[in-house]
Amino acid sequence: SRLPRELRGLMGEANLCYARGDHDDAIKMCMEIIRLVPYAAEPFETLSMIYDERGEPERSLQYSLLAAHLSPRDADQWLHLADMCLKQGESMKAINCYAKAFKVRPEDYNIIWESAKLHQKLGLIQKAMGLYKQVVALMPKSLAADSVALARDMAKNCHSNKESSLAVDLLEQALLHHGPAFKDEDANMLCELLILLQRFQDVLEVHHHYHHVVLCLHSKLEVQLSDGTTLQPQEKIDQALIYKQIRHITLCDITDNRDIVGIAPPSDLPIDLQSKVVVAMVHLRKSHLVHDIFTKICEHDPKDIGDLHFDIAEAYTEVGEHVQALVVLNLLVTSPNYSLAAVWLKHAECERICGNLEKSLKSYRQCVRLAPGHIEAHIKYAETLKLAGRYSEANKTLEDADSYEAEPDTRMQLHLTRYHTLKEWSEKSKSHRYDVLVYVVSMWYDVPCICCPLEPVQTSFNHGHHVGEVKVIMKSASYFCKESDKASAVFLDGNPAVFTNSEWLKLFKEVIVMLVRCHRYQDAIRLSDGAQWYSPWYDNSDIRNLLERVVLSVCLISGNYKMAYNVIRWWLISSSDSNHLWNIFNQITARTGEVRHHRFCLRRLIRVPNNMALVVLNGHNWLASGTYKHALGEYERAHKMDPENPLYLLLIGVVFFHISCQKYTDHKHSLVVQGLAFFEKYRTARRLDQESYYNLGRALHQIGLETFALHYYLRALDSQPVVVSCPGSESKSSNPHFDLTCEIGFNLSLIYRKSGNIDLANQTIHKYCVV
């Protein structure tokens, strides 16, 4: 707001004080005016000049900003403030000042240009390119060449920063506002960027605007012009319309590519732009409409425009027209300037897809020769050799590729390709030749988790009647698991993220199966144990459970009961209620020959005192160690928990008989009687006379009561064996696995032989024990 009349004199006096150098009085007068009229800009401007003279730029800037906001229609003042902000390093404030100035003077493109340069300097690329786009639109026609040059330079900058969409916007803006100054190189750049963004229809629109390329449209298509009128056809050619004014139409009105039924480029269209038309039409599935243009381009010498030939070939391969792509690629591979590895690789891929394996192999071989460090070329070459059934050459190619440096993703792909090649080779040859089985999977694990030196390992094996040589070129990883490194994300060789967890798990299962087939149990155990520390699997309970089960199974198969005990022990700590696990635990401990599991069972019994399996297992441990009284206590405890189970009655009777056989036991007759009582209960509960009488006879036989043992053995022979259901039928019959006749007859013969009746003993053997 303006100063009142009565304060203008005071403002003039303040300015005079400032001019005379009396800054303190001038400041007091300005402050008084601000107190009376706080929305006047003049005192703030004077204060800004005073503090600037006194060497206080920060306070000067603050008062200048206040003055500018109180008189916002002064663009020059905003520009001056922007310069002051830049001198003091206040870039964001300077951007704000440029924005205020542009609002006052919206036709001044220089303001936006300075703001765009400042945004670009600060790294705000997208905002800067948006401002440059405004600059291009605002620049006058007299500066059209400069405008197009600016758009070109900024488009290159955007493309280098992987902002191709912004680059296209800049060039399109330049084409729209300064079309006459648009050069062929600019149009070519714009078309290349549009093709990169897969905006193929826009490529044709660029040619409409720039070179007036005429499209033939379907006769039923009606196109509305910008003024709202419908364009009428001027000429009919085979049910198609050629619109002479097509340059006034945008392809946004053509919603279906099927509406385009022909194209007529001008005769003076440059060859590089002709190639862009061909590429766009090929991607729009209209390659037959540009066949003549394609033929003319192919007539040119590849040494001059080989890059254009290659772009067209790539377009044909991307849409699946490999035969047409081969027409161009055959020209390139015979050219001395363009017989390059990339061209040979594309040529080989097209030949392979067309079914020409031998030609494809020849091209791949040439590509590998020209670029021996190109790992992807080796991989594709090996895959083609695999299709041809030449597995040995494929394996050799992949071995050679492994000696070159490669990206982690490519390296992992190389390992997987080699693995599948060898796997298929073994299946085809039927010779169980598993070459480099764990080569790929040994790359999974974290570097800090490998605590042993990495050395090649070579072994041989004899598998059945086939003798196969296993050349395992694997990195030995004997001690994978350091607890402190379980979360490491650094991998030894290759990027495991190339494949999903399910793919890795499938691969792992295949390798384990092969290792077991080759009897490489230790490698299978080491691999499974190390895989548990693979980062993506470590926190997955289902996968870790699977890996532990694999370790346990391989340990049982290979006889490594010590490690199997460690696995099953941790399982039982976390799940003590599974009788299946306790059965496996018992099988393992029975084969180890050690007694350390006794203490483990006792500690577990303290924690879970009502676990039936653990109580019985403790009783077995005491019985096996000769501590019969403790065993008796455990069996009685089990009998109280399950009084109907005949097994515990049998075990209690057995323990009584064992105690009666000890040297310093008192009341042996009483113990025998108690044992017989439990045996009788067992017989009643078991209801299988042959088994029950046999066990009674064995118990009496053990303590030397052979007359009574003979009685029970004969009763057992007179009893029928166990009758069980036959698998797959409803009938029931005796099963030889449960028939104890042979065992009973043998024990009888021992009694007869001891009594001196050798003939009867032999007769019993011949009658009951002949197999």
Binned at pLDDT 50, 70 and 90, residue 262 comes out as low
Contact 400, 378 (CB under 8 A): yes
Q: What is the DSSP string of 134-148?
A: HHHHHS-GGGHHHHH
Per the structure block, which two tokens stand in for 507? 């691969």
The number of folded domains in the chain is 2
Closest to 144 in 3D by CA, of 115, 177, 101:
177
Inter-residue contact 17 to 23 (CB < 8 Å): yes
With respect to residue 425, please indicate whether it lies within any of the assigned structural domains.
Answer: no
Mark 358-380 as b/e (b = at least 16 C-beta within 10 Å).
Answer: ebbbebbbbbbebbeebbebbbb
- Model confidence at 251: pLDDT above 60: no
Are 239 and 218 in contact by the 8 Å Cβ rule? The answer is yes
Per residue in 281-326, pLDDT (tens digit) is: 888 888 888 888 888 888 888 888 888 888 888 888 888 888 888 8
Quickly tell me which residue has 């205020």 as its tokens: 100
Q: What does the pLDDT read at residue 716?
A: 92
Is 601 a member of any domain?
Answer: no
480 half-sphere exposure, CB direction, 13 A CA radius:
25
Give residue 531's pLDDT. Answer: 82
Q: What is the pLDDT of residue 624?
A: 87
Long-range contacts of 57-62 (CB under 8 A, 24+ apart): 57/84, 57/87, 57/88, 58/88, 60/84, 61/85, 61/88, 61/90
Average pLDDT, the chain: 76
Tokens of 418: 């080699």
Q: Reply yes or no on whether the pLDDT at 476 is more than 50.
A: no
- pLDDT-based confidence at residue 199 (cuts at 50, 70, 90): confident
In a domain, 495, yes or no: no
Percent of the chain with pLDDT over 70: 77
Mean pLDDT, rounded, for 135-143:
79
Domain boundary among 228, 244, 264: 264
Lowest mean pLDDT among 20-34, 475-489, 642-656: 475-489
Asked if residue 239 is part of any domain, the answer here is yes
Residues ≥6 apart with Cβ < 8 Å to 571: 548, 581
At position 563, the amino acid (one-letter code) is: M
**Matching residue, tokens 């393992």:** 588
pLDDT for residue 677: 94
In a domain, 723, yes or no: yes
* pTM for the model: 0.61
pLDDT in tens, 159-192: 777 778 887 887 877 777 777 777 778 888 888 8
Q: What is the pLDDT of residue 132?
A: 77
Q: Is residue 13 part of a domain?
A: no
Of 176, 131, 187, nearest to 154 by C-alpha is 131
Q: What residues contact residue 49 under an 8 Å CB cut-off, 6+ apart?
A: 18, 60
Helix (H, G, I), strand (E, B) or coil at 19: helix
Examine residue 258 and state whether it is found in any structural domain, yes or no. Answer: yes
Whether residue 680 is predicted with pLDDT greater than 80 in this model: the reply is yes
Per-residue pLDDT, 700 = 93
Domain assignment present for 755: yes
pLDDT: which is higher, 548 or 87: 548
How far is residue 635's CA from residue 619's CA, in Å, rounded to a whole number? 6
Q: pLDDT tens-digit profile of 346-358?
A: 888 998 888 888 9
What would the mean pLDDT of 92-113 be, rounded to a whole number? 78
Average pLDDT for 32-55: 70
Strand partners, 214: 264
Q: pLDDT at position 726, please?
A: 53
Residue 17: pLDDT above 80? Answer: no
- The DSSP output letter for 251 is G
**Domain of residue 757, residue span:** 688-771
Determine the distance from the C-alpha atom of residue 269 to the mean position of all C-alpha atoms in its chain, rounded to a whole number.
48
Q: Which of 264, 281, 297 is the last residue of a domain?
A: 264
* Residues in Cβ contact with 583 at an 8 Å cutoff, skipping those fewer than 6 apart: 613
Collapsing DSSP states into helix, strand and coil, what is residue 609? coil
Enumerate residues 6+ apart whose C-beta is below 8 A from 735.
Answer: 721, 722, 724
Please tell me the distance from the alpha carbon of residue 708 to that of residue 606, in angstroms, as a whole number.
42
State which of 111-120, 235-244, 563-572, 728-737 shows the largest mean pLDDT.
Answer: 563-572
Is 522 in a helix, a strand, or coil?
helix
Sign of CA dihedral 346, 349, 351, 356: positive
CA-nearest of 387, 385, 411, 402 to 499 is 411
Helix axes of 628-641 and 646-660: crossing angle, nearest 10 degrees: 160
Give the pLDDT confidence score for residue 421 in this predicted structure: 83
pLDDT beyond 50 at 479: no
Which pLDDT score is estimated for 723? 65
pLDDT confidence of 2, banded at 50, 70, 90?
low
Report how far residue 109's alpha carbon sits from residue 105's, in angstroms, rounded to the nearest whole number. 9
Using the predicted structure, report yes or no on whether residue 506 has a pLDDT greater than 50.
yes
Q: Is the pLDDT of residue 682 over 90?
A: yes
pLDDT number for residue 745: 92
pLDDT higher than threshold 80 for residue 53: no
What pLDDT score does 695 carry?
Answer: 93
pLDDT for residue 250 is more than 50: no
Range 487-519 burial, b when 16+ CB lie within 10 A, else e: eeeebbbbebebbeeeebbebbeebbebbbebe
User: In terms of DSSP bridges, do strands 240-242 and 214-218 run parallel, antiparallel, or are they unpaired?
Assistant: antiparallel
The region of weakest confidence among 23-32, 157-166, 237-246, 403-412 is 237-246
The pLDDT-based confidence of 752 (bands split at 50, 70, 90) is very high
Token pair for residue 452? 């042993």
740-751 pLDDT per residue, tens: 889 999 999 999
pLDDT attached to residue 753: 93
Tokens encoding 322: 């490999």
Which of 203, 234, 264 is the last residue in one of the domains?
A: 264
Element spanning 723, H or E: strand 723-725
Task: Kindly indicate the confidence band of residue 509, based on its pLDDT and cuts at 50, 70 and 90.
Answer: confident
In CATH, what number is assigned to the domain containing residue 739? Answer: 1.25.40.10
Q: Which two tokens stand for residue 187?
A: 């149009």
**pLDDT > 50? residue 364:** yes
Q: What is the mean pLDDT of residues 242-262?
A: 47
Question: Up-side HSE of residue 473: CA atoms within 13 Å toward CB?
Answer: 10
Q: In what helix (H) or strand (E) does residue 724 lie, and over which residues does it extend?
A: strand 723-725
423, 416 contact by CB (below 8 A): no
Nearest to 376 by CA among 355, 406, 344: 406
**Distance of alpha carbon 438 from alpha carbon 507, whole angstroms:** 10
